[in-house]
Structure formats: structure tokens, C-alpha cells
């Protein structure tokens, strides 16, 4: 887990009920970075609904429908029989979308980081803590930036 991100999440009130927009925006930013790892068009559409919702171009009902759909799709992802990690990256990316669209920002960030490491270094890389550092650092910077912009408007 990204300790610096957890600390910043606490400082910004990321998990507070009134900060749903912040959670969704941060989670969306994390998942957009791994969009290219998604294999299923339906999962991509769920991610797109989240983006449209954040832009004010999708309804709450559309978001809620996509929440259910993203959960279903992530749980039925077939994964990969390959040891190279590419299938694992797609599975982690699908779970990142499901968590993002459900407002579980820290979980979405974690799955996004795993997807990145699986894609870059294969299955063995996930046991190397330093493999996560670039994504972890990006996530902290992204939350700081998004929180600054989002909370300033509130």
C-alpha cells in the first residue's frame, strides 16, 4: 500500500462522505492512466461513464448502472494462463475501474498501481517494492493537485 497516499488521503479528507467528487475525480485520474490495459469494451464504457459523470454529461442513474456493471465485469474477468503478467494487468485494471466508479479511491489507486507494475515488469515485479514507486509518487502528486482544485471549488 502507498503510505504517503494514505497520509495525504487523511489530510485531505478523501474518505469523508461529503468529498465524493474528490474521490471519484482522483480515482478516475488513476484509472485513466491504465485505460490502455483494459481488454473488455464494456469495462472501458463504464470508465467513460465515470468521466462523463464528472463532466456533468451523465446522470446519477447512468453512474449507478455502470457501478453494477463494472463490479460484474471485474468479477467475471477470465484473467490469463500466461505467467508474463499481461492478463493479470487486465484483471487489476478491471478491478481498478470497478473500485473507481464505486468511489473507492484508495482501492482504485492500488489496483491501478498493480496493473501498471504487472504490465511493465510481469508477474515477478509485484514482489519488488521499488517497482511501485513511480506510480505511487504520481498518485500522491495527483491527489494533491486534484484535492487543491476540487476542495477550492467547494
Classify residue 148 by burial, with Cβ atoms within 10 Å: 0-12, 13-18, 19+: exposed
Q: Residues 3-24, buried b or exposed e (16+ Cβ, 10 A)?
A: eebeebbeebebeeeebebbbb
For the segment 91-149, what is each residue's pLDDT rounded down to a tens digit?
Answer: 999 999 999 999 999 999 999 999 999 888 766 666 788 899 999 999 999 999 999 99
**Residues spanned by the domain of 57:** 3-153
Task: Please tell me the pTM assigned to this model.
Answer: 0.91
Closest C-alpha among 49, 142, 143, 126 to residue 89: 126
User: Which pLDDT does position 69 carry in this prediction?
Assistant: 97
Is residue 87 scored above 80 in pLDDT?
no
Domain total of the chain: 1
Query: Look-up: residue for cell 500500500?
Result: 1
Q: What is the pLDDT of residues 28-64, one digit of tens each?
A: 999 999 999 998 999 999 999 999 999 999 999 999 9
Amino acid at each position: 500500500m502507498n503510505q504517503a497516499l494514505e497520509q495525504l488521503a487523511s489530510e485531505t479528507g478523501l474518505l469523508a462522505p461529503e468529498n465524493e467528487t474528490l474521490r471519484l475525480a482522483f480515482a478516475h485520474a488513476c484509472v485513466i492512466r491504465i485505460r490502455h490495459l483494459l481488454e473488455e469494451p464494456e469495462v472501458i464504457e463504464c470508465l467513460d461513464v465515470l468521466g462523463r459523470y464528472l463532466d456533468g454529461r451523465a446522470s446519477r442513474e447512468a453512474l449507478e448502472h455502470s457501478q453494477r456493471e463494472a463490479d460484474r465485469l471485474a468479477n467475471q474477468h477470465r484473467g490469463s494462463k500466461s505467467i508474463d503478467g499481461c492478463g493479470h494487468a487486465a484483471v487489476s485494471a478491471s478491478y481498478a475501474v470497478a473500485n473507481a466508479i464505486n468511489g473507492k479511491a484508495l482501492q482504485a489507486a492500488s489496483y491501478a498501481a498493480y496493473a501498471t507494475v504487472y504490465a511493465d515488469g510481469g508477474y515477478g515485479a509485484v514482489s519488488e517494492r521499488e517497482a511501485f514507486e513511480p506510480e505511487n509518487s504520481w498518485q500522491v502528486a495527483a491527489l494533491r493537485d486534484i484535492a487543491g482544485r476540487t476542495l477550492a471549488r467547494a
